[in-house]
Amino acid sequence: MLMKKLVFLICLLAALFVSLPGLSLAQEAQQGEVVLPADRIIEGNYFAVGNSVVLMGTVNGDAYVAGGNVLVQGTVNGDLLVAGGTVTVTGRVSEDLRVAAGQVVVTGEVVGNMTAVGGTVTLTDSARVGDGLVAASGILSTLGPVGRGIDTAAAQITIANSVGGNVSAVVGRLILTPGANVAGNLTLVSNVDAQIQPGAQVGGTITRNQPPQVEVPEAQEVARVVTRTALTILVIDLVASLVLGLLLIWLWPVLTQAVVGTLSQQPWLSLGVGILVFILLPATVIGLAVTIVGIPLALILMTLYLIALYLTKVFVFLTIGELILPNAARGWALLLGLVIYEILAIIPFLGPIIIILTLLFGLGAIVLGDKNIYTRLRKEKLI
C-alpha cells in the first residue's frame, strides 16, 4: 500500500511539473469547476483541482482534492486529502481525512482519523469521527461524537458530544456543553480553567497547566540587536529580490507574463495547486532518494523546488504591484509590490501568514504558468 501511494505521488508531481497533454484530470482543472457525478465510480486514486470541486460519486481509493470551494458529498473508500478556501464534507470517508482550509465543515462520517488545519473547524451534530481528531484552528467545535481522543490547539474549543478517549488541548478558552461526555482525561494548557457546564461529564482527571513564561534577560538590548539584524536582512532581501525580478522581466518576459496572468485570473486554482505541490513534492523527493537510482532526479526536483519557492514572492507581489499601478512600468510595479511584502512580512502574527500564503499562491501559479507555456510549445511543435 505504501509503495502504491508513493508511485501515485511521483506520477502526480510529474504531471504537475511536466504537464503531460494526455492527463485528463489536469485538463479538467483548467475549466475552473470539476464535478464527479453521483453515478460515476472511480476505481483507484482520484485527483481533482479547480476553483470549485464537487465530489458526488464514489472513489474506490484515495482522493486528492484542492480548490477554492470543495464539497464532498459522495463516498471515498480510502483516504481523503483536501485543501481549499472552504471545505465541506457531507459524505463518507472510509479511512482518514486530512484537510487544510480557511473553513472546514464536516457533517458526514469519517471512519478513521481526522486531521484538520483551518480558521474554523466544525463537526456538526450529524458528523461522526470513528477514531481520533487532531486539529489546529482558531475556533474548533465538535458537536458530533469522536470515537477516540482529541489533540488540539485553538483559540476556542467547544465540545458538545462524546469523546471516547482523552482530550489534550492548548487553548485560550475550552467549553464543555451539557451534552459533552469525555471518557478519558481532560488536560489543557491555558490561562483559565475549562468552562464545564452542568450536565457535562469527564470520566478521568482534569488538569490545567499554565502556559510557559519565558523571561529574556536584557530584553531591551536583545530587541535592539534583533531589530538591527532584521532591518539589515530586510534590505538585503529587498535588493536581491528586486534584481532577480528585473532579470526575470528582462530575460524571460513570456514566462513572467504567464505566471502573473495565471495568478491574477485563477488565484484559487493557484492556491490549491500550490498546497498540493508544497506538501507532496518533498515526499516524492524522499521516495526517489530511498530508491538510490532515483537520487539524481530527486536532487534535480529539490533544486527546482527551492528555486520556485524563492521566486514566489517576486511573482505574487509583481501581480499585486500591477493591480495597484496598472499603467506603470513593470519594474516600478515590482518595486512597489516587494516593498509591501517586506513591510507585511515583519508584522507580528500577520507576517508568517503572509509568507505562507505567498509561497502557496506563487508556487501554484509557477506550476500552472509553466504548464501553459509547455502546452503552447507542444502545440506549435517547438519542443
What integer pLDDT is reported at residue 219 of this predicted model? 58
Cα-based distances in Å from 18 to 26, 268, 351, 378: 11, 21, 33, 12
What integer pLDDT is reported at residue 378 of this predicted model? 74
Domain residue ranges of the chain, discontinuous segments joined by +: 23-209, 219-379
Other residues' Cβ atoms within 10 Å of the Cβ of residue 367: 23
Cα-based distances in Å from 2 to 25, 102, 113, 201, 249: 23, 30, 18, 40, 43
What integer pLDDT is reported at residue 198 of this predicted model? 94
The single-letter DSSP state of residue 146 is B
C-alpha cell at 306: 527551492
What integer pLDDT is reported at residue 132 of this predicted model? 94
C-alpha cell at 296: 539524481
Instruction: Please state, in angstroms and rounded to a whole number, the distance separating the CA atoms of residues 261 and 226.
Output: 38
pTM of the full predicted structure?
Answer: 0.56
Contacts 24+ apart (CB under 8 A), 253-256: 254/373, 255/369, 255/370, 255/373, 256/315, 256/318
Cα Dmax for the chain:
73
What integer pLDDT is reported at residue 382 of this predicted model? 66
Which amino acid is located at 245 in the chain? G
C-alpha cell at 102: 480557511
Mean pLDDT in each 10-residue stretch from start to end of the chain (383 residues)? 38 36 36 82 86 91 86 95 88 93 92 91 95 92 95 93 94 94 94 93 92 64 70 76 82 84 85 85 81 81 84 85 79 81 77 85 84 74 66
Beta bridge partners of 110: 93, 129
